[in-house]
Copies of this chain bind each other. A is one copy, B any other.
């Protein structure tokens, strides 16, 4: 396994792969890898087949963090990430620093952004106004650096995956986006690097996200007709805030393709949640 830190070296390698007709699968991450990430790596491996290459990027992208967010304390453990990637048969880790990704200052200042304007407005885009602009910008950069045939994203970040798919289509990136299922802990908590923040009792309280998804699903399956979204939201908010450290940021019921909110919740409606557990903001989602 190679570890590459420079953009130019990664592009040279990618060019060589292109020339050789090697199929390349790519998993962009912010590191602090967990079983969720590793499931994306396995998926990339299956998609590229024997003779293909799997590249994982590890980069905590500053442009997708807001000024009040957890950029500086975002968990990192590069040595462990390297070990996990090696065990999983990853071919290349691309791990640039900020000077590689956003070089220059003054006249050379980085000044180009990619933004998606429809799917980005709601939910995470509303709670974190510059977040998706940072995501689409860094993902566009990484696509140009790694030049994969297929890139794999996790559906825990459901809105992000939808936006990345839209961006790749709109800008004609010559690659395919695959969205893989959320991996959960045994008790249902969605895997997330931020779960590390859940010390003491907070870990148990974080289960309110999973319980909310389950409760909404049961409600929908038992209902004979569409349930008013406002009523279901109010119920979820009550349930969530029974956990003393939990505060609901948003619960949104929406069409899984357009992300447009629905007023009546039925089977097939998508539910996404963002909940603060203490100072840690967690997200989760499911199709009902």
> Given the complex of chains A and B, what is the CA–CA distance between A166 and B111 in angstroms?
8
Which residues on the B side are within 8 Å of A116 (C-beta)?
111-112
Cβ–Cβ contact B117 & A14, under 8 A: no
Contact A258 B141 (CB under 8 A): no
A19 to chain B, nearest CB (A): 5
**Is A192's beta carbon under 8 Å from chain B?**
no
| In the complex, chain B residues whose CB is within 8 Å of the CB of A140 | 114, 140, 171
Size bracket of the A interface: 35 or more
Cα A147 to Cα B257 in complex, Å, equals 29
Q: Does A7 contact B (CB under 8 A)?
A: yes
Chain B nearest Cβ from A146, distance in angstroms: 10
Would you give the shortest CB distance from A261 to chain B, in whole angstroms? 13
Residues of chain B with a CB closer than 8 A to A137's CB: 171
Using known A-B contacts A18-B19, A112-B166, A136-B112, determine if residue A107 contacts B258 with beta carbons closer than 8 Å. Answer: yes
Partner of A172, one of B7, B136, B255, B258: B7
Q: Does A126 contact B (CB under 8 A)?
A: no
Q: How far is the CA of A117 from the CA of B115 in the complex (A)?
A: 12
- Measured between alpha carbons, how far is A133 from B55 in the docked complex, in Å? 31
Interface residue? A119 (CB, 8 A) = yes
